[in-house]
Amino acid sequence: MSGFRITNCHIHLFHAGHVPEDYPYRFLRLFKKAPFLVRGLAFLMRLIGQHPVAEKLDRLHRFQKETQSESQRAILENVQQHYPSTTRFVVLPMDLSAFGYGSPRLALSAQHDELAELARDPDLRGRVIPFATIDPRADRQGSEVWRAVDDLGFRGVKIYPRLGFAPDDPRLMRHVYPKMEEKGLPLMTHCSRGGVQGRELSDHWADRYTEPDAYAPILKVHPNLRICLAHFGGQRDWSAYVNPDRSNPFADEYRNNWQVRIRQMIESGDYPGLWTDISYTLFHFEDFIPFLRLFLLGEDEGAERLRSRVLFGSDFYMTRQEALSEKAVCFRLRNALGEEVFRRIAEENPAKWLGET
């Protein structure tokens, strides 16, 4: 995979020390502390012929092993094995201190500091591009996010509204977005019906905080802010688009499909600051790649706008729950889209989104 420099715009390096012990359930503490129990359950499932269940448990074990790493560096070394040595990684931390499961063992400031050390490491030669994160309920003035940007040199901001806050929360609108627009910093945000969710947050409000149209008010006030809606709507909405379920036509993913809506918003040209990435979603490769290829290889003006606003990303280490490896997806994607389009989403578009060109 030589010839140009890939930028993976969406990976995670946070580990168990950054996640509350009670998430997602208190009774799972034992399995977190003793991952061999998951392997034992997988072995038992194979003995009784439940191979699909065993495979899911194997994936869970791989995921657990990743989260049990004691450093972000160790996780980075794992993902680097799947990519050429020149690949750059946009690293997205998480603030899980205010979504209802207690406080993590390590504070967000410590997570940011460790990530800053990786970004400064001369051996990595700038291949780590750190983003700061903020939950406006935990950091009302944005002091930690601006410490990370102004003092540590972070290159963008990540938010995760599904934790329990609106993307146009007044604290973000007042203390974060104006300065981001002034500094030319990009914003990455979760845009999928799945993922981490606030303990007291209903599915309805989690979706309202996460849906593509929730960002229209921000883009109206801050038209020069570059916002990436991660996951291109997410697997649930892609599945609904690919396999319409006539028995459940009133499900929200059919009436208000986020993948379709993101394409409409970008292709319209009305939201020049709107971007999306294909992280995690494309790990259901065989089902979704023919559609992505069709969307990106079209010849009309809308398809050209879409090609210019899609970013390559993987969502490592979340993808450790899937059967395909990072390397397998990357090679398959490059083969399916062709060199020109893959170069665009993996090299040219990331450089523009990051403000490098």
Q: How far, in Å, CA of 5 to CA of 196, rounded?
A: 31
Give yes or no for a contact between 160 and 168, defined as CB atoms under 8 angstroms apart: no
* DSSP secondary structure, 4-34, as one string: S--EEEEE----GGGS-TTSS-GGGHHHHH-
Tokens of 303: 């398809």
pLDDT tens-digit readout, 215-271? 999 999 999 999 999 999 999 999 999 988 766 767 899 889 999 999 999 999 999
Q: How many CA atoms lie within 13 A of 316 on its CB side?
A: 27
Q: pLDDT averaged over the chain?
A: 88
Radius of gyration over every alpha carbon of the chain, rounded to an integer in angstroms: 20
pLDDT tens-digit readout, 309-355? 999 999 876 555 455 678 888 888 999 999 999 999 999 999 999 99
With residues binned 3-state (H G I as helix, E B as strand, rest as coil), the percentages for the chain, rounded to 5, are 50, 10, 40
Tokens of 164: 């329990």
pLDDT at position 1, please?
45
Q: How far, in Å, CA of 29 to CA of 284, rounded?
A: 29
Q: How far, in Å, CA of 154 to CA of 176, rounded?
A: 14
Segment 341-347 long-range contacts (CB within 8 Å, at least 24 positions apart): 341/296, 341/297, 341/307, 342/312, 343/3, 343/4, 344/307, 344/308, 345/278, 345/296, 345/307, 345/310, 345/311, 345/312, 346/4, 346/6, 346/7, 346/8, 346/312, 347/4, 347/5, 347/6, 347/7
Q: Count the residues in the chain.
A: 357
Q: How far, in Å, CA of 230 to CA of 121, rounded?
A: 27
Tokens of 53: 């269940």
Q: Which domains does the chain have, with CATH numbers?
A: 7-20+71-353 (3.20.20.140)
Helix (H, G, I), strand (E, B), or coil: what is residue 270? coil
Q: Quick one: what percent of the chain has pLDDT higher than 90?
A: 66
Asked if the model's pLDDT at residue 37 lies above 90, the reply is no
